[in-house]
Amino acid sequence: MARLKHTKVIWIAATALVYYFLAHFGMALFALKPGNITLLWLPSGIALVMCLHWGYRSIPFIVLASFAANFSGMSASSGPGPFLHTAVAAIADGMVGIIAMHSFKYFLPNGLTRTHDLVPFGLWVCIVPTSITSIILSINLAVGGYISWAETENFFLMLVLADSLGILLVYQVYQGWHDDGKMSRAELNWLAGTTLVMAVLLTLGFTTLPGAVFFIVPLLLVLSFNVNLFGVATISSVSLMSIIVATAHNAGPFEVTDPADSNFRLMAFVFSSALTILGIALQNRQLTSIERSSELWKDAAEHDPLTGLINRRAFLPRLQNEHQRALRTGNTYTFAMLDLDHFKSINDAYGHHCGDAVLCALAAVMVENCRSIDAVVRMGGEEFGILFPECHIDEALIALERIRKRFESSSTMADGKLIFVTVSIGVAAFAGAEEKDTEVVERADRALYAAKAEGRNQIVVGL
């Protein structure tokens, strides 16, 4: 237990270091005066992840990391009490993680999984918590003399968007990594190609063709249909962060004469774009999950759970298709019915577990001795069927005799004893255009009953 707690503390401390370095990363790349206020505050997203993982235990680490990252910038001001104001800012940074965590757990108890979750996530997890702490931060900056009271409104809006963006960009990458971090080769190829095109668009957008930046959003939309959430979230976050960095260095389409207006336009664009891409990615993941579930249910509905063979429900459409093809091409097909001999006595003597083993053994022998195009089906109970497409009855009889002999010579272990079981087979071939597919099955079924009546463990051809 002590070792577990020690490991947890190490992880919290390591994540707090990530918080600290991301704070410096933000201040270095897109800082405004004073130096500790940025257009994008990624540590707010780290704070949410830390609080979701470790709860209130992470607060002291967040506060210390924030204080260490902010103190150098705030101590450069001529305002009174830089230590106190830095401490207030650090506590506010800790508060945003806790408030966002509680909002997340209350409004999104099942996590961020559907497009319907975007509104509560954007409002209650991103905007509301950051609005509360941004009020504290703005007043703290004004009281400390870092900004004038007239600037507090603009700084408040900027702080809300900067912190909200941090939560949105970091959390979408975290959830993508947590849910499905592994990517297939095809997804990696898509990711590499998109990254290359993205780099070209960003280069053009911040050099000679500013409007090229706006093609990033449709490119990310295309990516969201071909790559999992982790890949989309990562590329989305990196590309949108690149736009913020370039704008902070006076490049790109968001540069206007009024810096406050420029910053607001930029962050509104980035926030809405990130939210849109995340929504599309979630919707695509939800649709993919529904398709997979549908395929699993369809597979379960069409297969016998004991033997793994297709069942009557899946078999009948195949028989109908083969019958129609035979009518069009003039070819023939053969159908065989197989039934275990004295199966009820096996169940009575050895139990149903032994009966199940015998059924599986026959299914395995049938599959091993049939072609890949043949349809092996469990019709129900101890009855099985085999559809031989484009196969004359003489060829089918060779395969069926091989199955009969192999099964006759095989054995099944029951209560420490080896038991041997035989199988009776009735077979019929498609006779021509005048015959229906159901009539072929009926002839094979009558032949099976004839095989039973004539002594079992034999093959009878239906006429």
**Which SS3 state, helix, strand or coil, does residue 385 take?**
strand
Element (H, E) at 380: strand 375-380
Give every CB contact of residue 224 below 8 A, 6+ residues apart in sequence.
Answer: 232, 277, 280, 281, 284
To the query of whether residue 382 is one of the catalytic residues in this protein, the response is yes
CB-based contacts of 438: which residues, under 8 Å, 6+ apart? none
Is residue 282 within 8 Å of residue 114, measured between CB atoms? yes
Contact yes or no for 29/245 (Cβ under 8 A)? yes
Q: DSSP labels for 246-279?
A: HHHTT-STT--S-HHHHHHHHHHHHHHHHHHHHH
Q: How far is CA 320 from CA 131, 233, 299, 315, 441, in A?
A: 65, 47, 19, 9, 11
| Beta-strand runs (E) in 308-348 | 310-311, 334-340
Query: Nearest Cα to 81, choosing from 150, 141, 133?
Result: 141
Catalytic residue among 382, 383, 439, 454: 382
Provide the annotated active-site residues: 382
